[in-house]
Amino acid sequence: MKNYMDELLKKINSKTAKVGIIGLGYVGLPLALEFSLKGFKTIGFDIDSKKIPLLNSGKSYIKHISEEKVLQAVQSKNFSATTDFSKLTEVDVIIICVPTPLTEHREPDMTYIVDTAKMIQKYLRRGQLITLESTTYPGTTDEVLLPLFESPASDNEKYVVGKDFFLAFSPEREDPNNSNYTTSTIPKVVGGITPNCLEVALALYNQVIIKTVPVSSAKAAEATKLLENIYRSVNIALVNELKMVFDRMGIDVWEVIEAAKTKPFGFNAFYPGPGLGGHCIPIDPFYLTWKAREYDVNTKFIELAGEINTFQPYYVVNRLVEILNSHKKSIKDARILILGIAYKKNIDDLRESPSLKLIELLISKNALVDYSDPYIVQLPVTRKYNFNMQSVELTKENLKSYDSVVLSTDHDSFDYKFILENSNLIVDTRNKFNSLGFNSPKISKA
């Protein structure tokens, strides 16, 4: 009888294993580059046919992922991209890096994972390792993926996990534009369905990641990623709540956070803002909330954090209305410029950006809204929004023409001195102006 495990381990350890990565976004693309640059033949799969020719010609469509690296990977002939999923039969390892968004009712949208898993089921052959990296609820790998792969469409026989094929969960920990850590230098948690699955998955990731962290099960690995993001979501919500409480008391939350930060143990600073953004923090925690209901338990912290973080754009708009009113101006017909559309500074990603919500709320109040963001020249159509808007140039004349600017995302490339000098009013959701030492009656915090 053939020992698929030994064979796969041998291929991995000799770098002759062929790696397939499904989903070439912020997670899949850097990972595919890591494998190919370490010498693994790597095929990138994506359903978005626009991405494929770009990548195959050595171009990057994500600003913080260097074009040079893509080009190098393509030229090495180790990397190629395709929309042809039948090539899944060619690879020894399949890594799933597809999105896990929420539906409009804040429930997990498992479409991408399920569709991908069915595609794999179609082509699965003995001796393959499949790992899932998408953030999801505990139990996904066991309950959604495993049953499909145990009954491959490509074979009449049942496959046995840990013997015929190997299945693991290993959460991505990408942090776009983090200058200290990149894909390969962030330790990676791995949980297998069986001990064999874990062993094979560890062998794989050890080839490209500085340190792997085995846990006892796939669901423990799934829970780990959720804990990391729930921690962030709750702590951001906590300072957002305290911002509103302290504001009433005439206390500047930013000053308080800076002072608390001087405690050399037991405190970690989080900062308030106009709301949560990005593909993780606003979304992932609710995967646990949803799953927990199956067990008759509530995740009260997650729901409270959601409530408070969701309220932040409304809070900013309320503050803006207050400030305009104190200058005898109404929000209706006021000209408002939103500075920064990306969900965090210095990146070009606007997924779940609170700036988009700000625009929506301001339009609903009949304000005249524009935005300026050097990273996002034109607002693309998103799942939720379709604003036909272009980034406004920050000239003297333009700035002067707005009743107020609202700093939503504090890109380093903004010229804050120039903005302050030429704006009528500034609503600063990031404490940026004060932290740069600028003080002016024009500036209000929100």
Catalogue the active-site residues.
Answer: 280
Question: What's the CA dihedral at 35, 36, 37, 39 to 10 degrees?
Answer: 90
Tokens (6 digits) for 247: 């504001």
**Shorter beta-carbon distance to a copy of itself: residue 76 or 216:** 216
Binding mask 121-160 for a copy of itself (x = CB under 8 A): -----------------xx---------------------
Count of CA atoms in the C-beta half-sphere (13 A) of 148:
20
- Least CB distance to a copy of itself at residue 4 (A): 28
**Shorter beta-carbon distance to a copy of itself: residue 9 or 146:** 146
H helices of 15-156, in order, are 28-37, 51-56, 67-75, 111-123, 140, 146-150
Q: Which of 27, 221, 323, 341 binds a copy of itself (CB under 8 A)?
A: 221
Does 195 interact with a copy of itself (rule: CB under 8 A)?
no
Q: Which of 49, 268, 388, 413 binds a copy of itself (CB under 8 A)?
A: 268
The candidate with the shortest Cα–Cα distance to 94, out of 164, 150, 20, 203, is 20
Amino acid (1-letter code) at residue 157 = E
| Residues contacting 266, CB < 8 A, separation 6+ | none
Q: Which of 153, 160, 227, 363 binds a copy of itself (CB under 8 A)?
A: 227
Residue carrying structure tokens 């850590």: 181
β 166-169/129-132 pair status: parallel
Q: Which of 235, 424, 434, 444 binds a copy of itself (CB under 8 A)?
A: 235
- Least CB distance to a copy of itself at residue 143 (A): 11
Q: Which stretch binds a copy of itself (CB under 8 A): 56-64, 84-92, 107-115, 293-301?
A: 293-301
Q: For 401, phi and psi rounded to 5 degrees?
A: -80, -10
Distances (CA, A) of 173 to 102, 188, 195, 439: 19, 8, 23, 38
165 contacts 191 by C-beta, under 8 angstroms: no
Tokens (6 digits) for 177: 């534009």
- Least CB distance to a copy of itself at residue 420 (A): 21
| DSSP H or E run through 371 | strand 368-372
Does 263 interact with a copy of itself (rule: CB under 8 A)?
yes
Q: Which of 160, 187, 327, 382 binds a copy of itself (CB under 8 A)?
A: 187
Q: Which of 157, 248, 413, 441 binds a copy of itself (CB under 8 A)?
A: 248
Give the interface size with a copy of itself as a residue count (CB under 8 A): 63
3-state secondary structure of 179: coil
Does 241 interact with a copy of itself (rule: CB under 8 A)?
yes
Q: Which stretch binds a copy of itself (CB under 8 A): 55-63, 246-254, 337-345, 354-362?
A: 246-254
Q: Which of 47, 65, 114, 292 binds a copy of itself (CB under 8 A)?
A: 292
Q: Which of 100, 217, 372, 422 binds a copy of itself (CB under 8 A)?
A: 217
**Shorter beta-carbon distance to a copy of itself: residue 292 or 389:** 292
Please spell the DSSP secondary structure of 117-165, one letter per residue.
HHHHHHH--TT-EEEE-S---TTHIIIIIHHHHHS-TT-SSPPPBTTTB
Q: Which stretch binds a copy of itself (CB under 8 A): 148-156, 254-262, 381-389, 403-411?
A: 254-262
Distances (CA, A) of 97 to 26, 117, 131, 150, 337: 9, 11, 9, 21, 36
Tokens (6 digits) for 291: 């799953």
Does 441 interact with a copy of itself (rule: CB under 8 A)?
no
- Least CB distance to a copy of itself at residue 304 (A): 6
Q: Which stretch binds a copy of itself (CB under 8 A): 193-201, 304-312, 336-344, 389-397?
A: 304-312
The sign of the CA dihedral 19, 21, 24, 27 is: negative
**Shorter beta-carbon distance to a copy of itself: residue 229 or 422:** 229
Please give the residue ranges that form the binding site for a copy of itself (CB under 8 A).
138-139, 173, 175, 178, 180-181, 186-187, 189, 211, 213, 215-217, 219-221, 223-224, 227-228, 230-232, 234-235, 237-238, 241-242, 244-246, 248-252, 255-257, 259-260, 262-268, 288, 291-292, 295-297, 299-301, 304, 307-308
